[in-house]
Amino acid sequence: MTRSNALRTAIAVALFAGVSLQSGCNKPFGSVTGTITLGGAPLPAGLVSFLAEDGTVVSANVDANGNYRVDNVPAGLARVMVYTAFNENLGSSGDLLKNQGRDPTRFKDVPKSSVTLVMVPQKYSTPETSGLSVTVGKGETKYDIPLDK
């Protein structure tokens, strides 16, 4: 093998190794969108989380119509969890604030939340008991989540 052929071979091997290593580091991600219903009605508030196979957890809030969008979910199988949203209503927290030396009258004009708190059954809050999973693709994956009461 001549010196120039050896050099070309070495460069080709180095480029191939670099491309191979780089492609392994760029794991694809996707977005998941959908609607969550509880007993057939849209879930008016909550949190949805996706647990990817690599242990990554990505979450998003559920809007008043039960819709959600979660970005940057690693592609592949993800187990899904849904939680109750706990929105503290500052308009009714006067006793709590009074006990901490704060003036509760400052909060009397804070508008009350118009979202009704709906309790999501506990079984949906862990990946082991939710029974929910989705295969996330590169790009956008549609995944509606019907929950039983």
User: In the chain, what is the greatest distance between 2 CA atoms, to the nearest angstrom?
Assistant: 88
* Interatomic CA distance for residues 120 and 146, integer angstroms: 11
What are the residues whose beta carbons fall under 8 Å from the beta carbon of 101, sequence distance 6 or more? none
Within a domain: 47: yes
User: What is the pTM (predicted TM-score) of this model?
Assistant: 0.66
Within a domain: 14: no
Which CATH number does the domain housing residue 143 bear?
A: 2.60.40.10
Within a domain: 103: no
Q: For residue 47, with 0-12 CB atoms within 10 Å meaning exposed, 13-18 middle and 19 or more buried, which class applies?
A: middle
pLDDT 10s per residue in the chain (149 long)? 555 555 455 565 554 544 444 444 567 999 999 999 999 999 999 999 999 999 999 999 999 999 999 999 999 999 999 998 764 443 444 444 344 444 555 545 555 555 567 889 999 999 999 999 999 999 999 999 999 98
Within a domain: 7: no
Q: In the chain, how many domains are there? A: 1
Are the C-beta atoms of residues 66 and 44 closer than 8 Å to each other?
yes
